Amino acid sequence: MIDKEQNRGNWLHIVGLLGWLTLGIGLRFTNLGDKSPSSIEISTLGFSLGNGFLAVPLDQVISLDTLLLPVAVSGETSPATVITRLMSESNHPPLYFVLTHFWLKVVSVGDILWEGRSLSAILGAAAIPALFGFGWLTFRSRDVAQMAAALMAVSPYGIYLAQEARHYTLTILWIIASLSCLVVATRFLESKKNLPVWVGCVWAIANSLGVATHYFFFLVIYAEGLVIGWFWWRDFHWTGYWRRIYAVAAGTAIGCLVWLPVILGVSEQELTDWIETSYALDEIWTPIPRLLAWWITMVFLLPVEGRPLVVTILSGLILLLVLVWVAPGVIGGLKGQMKSTNSMSVLVGFLGGAIALFLIIIYVMGKDLSLAARYHFVYFPVIIVLLAAALAICWQEIKGMKNLLHFSLKARGKQVVVGVLLMGLLGGITVVTNYGYQKNQRADLLISQIQANSKVPVLIATTYKTHAELRSLIGVGFEFQRQQLQPPSFILLDKNNYAGLETPDVLQKTLNKIQRPLDLWGVNLNADSDDLEALNCWGDSLKSNHNGYRVRLYHCG
């Protein structure tokens, strides 16, 4: 009888996991190709195709086909080309780009953006069973494992990362693998036994592959080092069962230090200038609320972006009420888990160390990592598993937790769990319908402006400083192609060739040669309006600084 019940329980958990996996896949592939590409997605596609971004000419009028050369599919490139172009033009490690290179050769549906995003979506879905396993390994509880899988399936943040053609979802899998080894290692340290060789090998390999996928994996290694360092300080042993931990550290160092010269040069590159920390008195504390916002949206999200003010306020109030409602149960669940397992303190220590590292980078190194949600994938899996551990206690409603669970709106444990998962699902739907985690540059909205205001031929002009401006313009051109609209002409004005000039001579010469009438759309263009008026190009009242672009329309007669 006991065996039958155990087998029945095993099957129920398998069915439950398959259900969460199905839901997670469905959410991640919903409207996968509908959103405009972001600048960084264009970067992934261009480098993964082996094209790079040096083929687009500057300081001359170009067609849409020429602008889109970096994302044009060609069978002539190889993985070696991908690595060479990436390392010479960018600051990212090559593993994910090489994988995407092979993936784009295998998957061919005629939509390069969908194809690129689909790999990330599949890897994002793979995190659901991976986190199930991590939850069970850490807490030896199938309830925690189920909660972790469920939360990952519906997580708005997880879905957002999975619908980006970027390397974050693969890095999350390496993080889960590395943290699993950390949990196992701390158990062996607690029992003063040697770590199995195969666990040490997996740990070092996961760390090395993590850094080869994203340099932020160094933060994972540092945070794990802080946890291991605490055990070392407590035991203070140089030999015995610590030898294999030292071997893992050495293996990790060998696999990671090859990237050190590159990572040291990243902070000096113009591509990272935009994340500079502001130390102005009225802005110095803004990273803190931004960090809190990203943590909340890992689980909860409602339409708050680009919506009417009343909708934004209502969504914010609902989120606040739900947080107040579930907080006592979650806090009580965390306290209960802290008493029941030592692995809980390992995860809390890792999370605290990771957040401390982020704050050091923001306030000491002057790089405001709070500006972009995507950077916080470093500790995302741990937040989900900790919340899952708390919800598992809520679901069980163990004795002694009743007062805590009834403290706010008298919510019972199972109601807290259902409420959290339901809000997570609503948040996931918010993301896939583009009401949350919207692209910072909405090329679709910009094109709608152009279509509504220009009835004559259009020239879109952008000032080129780095690849970032080129990729943004490619995103605009990509959207013209996706919508099958009559494409305009484009020109990228190389700022390096006209330093100090308000309006480059090449733009003046170009406008003198182009047939009028013409609408000049300055998209992130540095140009003096008086100079353009001298060329009979008059500024329209349409001037915007939203949708991620600085836009000005000039009518040239």
pLDDT tens digits, 42-62: 999 999 999 989 889 999 999
Residue type for position 483: Q
- Burial (CB < 10 A; 0-12, 13-18, 19+), residue 9, is exposed
What average pLDDT does range 18-32 have in this prediction? 96
pLDDT at 302: 92
Q: Are 401 and 393 in contact (CB under 8 A)?
A: yes
The CA distances from residue 149 to 19, 133, 153, 157, 427, in Å, are: 10, 9, 6, 14, 16
Per-residue pLDDT band for 263 (boundaries 50, 70, 90) equals low
Residue type for position 381: P
The verdict on 52 and 115 lying in the same domain is no
Per-residue pLDDT band for 238 (boundaries 50, 70, 90) equals low
Tell me the residue range of the domain where 462 lies: 35-106+441-557
pTM of the model: 0.92
The verdict on 384 and 456 lying in the same domain is no
The verdict on 342 and 287 lying in the same domain is yes
Left if phi > 0, otherwise alpha if psi is -120 to 50, otherwise beta: which for 434? left
Residue with tokens 């919508």: 483
Question: Is the pLDDT assigned to residue 408 strictly greater than 70?
Answer: no
The verdict on 349 and 457 lying in the same domain is no
The verdict on 427 and 391 lying in the same domain is yes
End-to-end CA distance of the chain: 88
Euclidean distance between CA atoms 118 and 123, whole angstroms: 9
Q: Are 389 and 136 in contact (CB under 8 A)?
A: no
Which of 250-254, 286-290, 458-462, 504-508 is predicted least confidently?
A: 504-508
What domain count does the chain have? 2
Residues of the chain above pLDDT 70, percent: 91
Euclidean distance between CA atoms 160 and 141, whole angstroms: 28
The verdict on 79 and 111 lying in the same domain is no
| Domain boundary residue, one of 368, 398, 432 | 432
The verdict on 246 and 154 lying in the same domain is yes
Residue with tokens 């013409």: 518
The dihedral formed by the CA atoms of 266, 267, 273 and 275, expressed in degrees to the nearest 10: 110
Question: Is the pLDDT assigned to residue 404 strictly greater than 60?
Answer: no
Work out the mean pLDDT of the chain and round it to a whole number.
Answer: 88
The verdict on 428 and 544 lying in the same domain is no
What average pLDDT does range 324-334 have in this prediction? 88
Per-residue pLDDT band for 528 (boundaries 50, 70, 90) equals confident
